[in-house]
Structure 1
Amino acid sequence: MEQAYMNHKNIKTEIDIKKSRFISHIARTETEDDARLFIQKIKKEHREATHNCSAYIIGESALIQRADDDGEPSGTAGVPILEVLKRESLYNCTVVVTRYFGGIKLGAGGLIRAYSQSAAEAVKDSGKVFLVPMIPTEIVLDYTFTNKFEYFLGNENIEIKDQEYTDKVTYHLMIEEPMVEKVRETLKEITSDTFWITTKDVEMAERVLVL
């Protein structure tokens, strides 16, 4: 089964469980080398930590999966992190959970829950993106029509990638293929057919998953 999403933001989160600090770091990693470099980076930053446990999945088909307990009892850290990535259908993603031991042992079950919770918090705060076919589109129109056009774009959740201001306004957009004709018809109505539109070949582009 193919994974559906990549993480949106590279961030870190932190939770405290029975005086132990669990700091989760999540990053987009396109290759296994990227994943290893990210893990090494976190281990270097937190060299004083008790453990830096990690997991990653590379590729939509999840052919590359790795988990590392980094000294925690076998199966209590890396695998629970990996299971979160699988459950959330993430790929090209690496999570490192850094633990600073607080003096209270959690037991195997407690460790599994702690590492799972920590990884899940990072995934939640990072957000998800997915790939969709998009048409790079350039639109030129008079300033008179910008308010109505931008209101339309907002309602349709079409992101403005860039704008240029000269004697007219140029919009650079990425539009989902089925929406191109609706944009064209709306512009005809708004501008009385006084606009210019140029489209390019389809590209795969990221869209943020809105929950």
Structure 2
Amino acid sequence: MTHPDEYKTIVKPSEGDFRDRGSKFPSYLVPCENEDALKIHIAELKKKHPGSRHVCYGAILGTENSIERSNDDGEPNGTAGLPILNQLLSAELRNVALLVVRYFGGTKLGKPGLIAAYKESAKSAIESSKQVVRYHKTDISFRFSYDATGPVMQAIEHIQHAHIKDQQFDQDCSITVSIPKSEVDKALHLFDHTNEVEVSQMD
């Protein structure tokens, strides 16, 4: 990550798979913002795979002060949820859950085998995902007279990763811009030298 407000997440769900000695480990990487959404994903997979032995998962919920969750769902302690979570941490993904289903194939894999299986299945789903970089943002409002439109637009162009959300041009003009949080202080002081432009942070 090169920008302090950057984080990576996924655009849409992706799937992976791993097999070892008859056991099958299909995996599902899904967008997930909170624990309520995580519970829904778990319930849906258990319904989709009624013959499976386990639905284990790792999750990183939220984008700032993220919550980490993992669960072995009856597998030996530390052999499933943690290896899955570690793959998410290695990929630096946020707002995601990675669930791995296990169908027992009749042969016990042992703890090292289970750790490897859940890790590889999780890795497979991550590798097939489409990832995007997003930013922790906040909204800034510019209010100005029509004559100041040029300088305001030029200033906005120089704010990294700014996105205009709303604009109104009349005798009195306003533009609402979504910008990375680390750019807020700079943006608020762009027009300290003049009274023609009012800049404020929106709630």
* 1:179 CA displacement: 9.3
Question: Is structure 2 residue 80 aligned with structure 1 residue 85?
Answer: no
Alignment partner, residue 7 of structure 1? 10
Any conservation in 1 of the 2:76–2:111 contact (CA below 8 Å)? yes
1:202 counterpart (168, 171, 177): 177
Alignment partner, residue 154 of structure 2? none
Q: Secondary structure at the match of 1:25?
A: strand
Alignment partner, residue 96 of structure 1? 99
Any conservation in 2 of the 1:3–1:62 contact (CA below 8 Å)? no
CA deviation string 1:44-97 (max 9, x = no partner): 211210111111111223531111101100000011101111111111101110
2:24 counterpart (6, 21, 26): 21
* 1:19 CA displacement: 1.4
Alpha carbons of 1:92 and 1:85: their partners in 2 closer, same or farther (altered >3 Å)?
same
Q: Secondary structure at the match of 1:41?
A: helix
* 1:15 CA displacement: 2.1
Which runs of 5 or more structure 2 residues have no equivalent in the other structure? 138-156, 163-174, 181-203
Q: Name the CA distance, whole Å, in 2 between partners of 1:50 and 1:130.
A: 35
2:44 counterpart (38, 41, 47): 41
Q: Name the CA distance, whole Å, in 2 between partners of 1:111 and 1:99.
A: 10
Alignment partner, residue 123 of structure 2? 120
- Tell me the number of residue pairs that the alignment of Structure 1 and Structure 2 aligns: 146
How large is the Cα RMSD of the aligned pairs? Answer: 2.8
2:71 counterpart (68, 71, 83): 68
Which runs of 5 or more structure 1 residues have no equivalent in the other structure? 134-174, 181-199, 206-211
Q: Secondary structure at the match of 1:4?
A: strand
Return the TM-score normalized by structure 2.
Answer: 0.63
Q: Name the CA distance, whole Å, in 1 between partners of 2:85 and 2:158.
A: 32
Any conservation in 2 of the 1:57–1:64 contact (CA below 8 Å)? yes
CA deviation string 1:70-128 (max 9, x = no partner): 11000000111011111111111011100111112111111111101100110110121
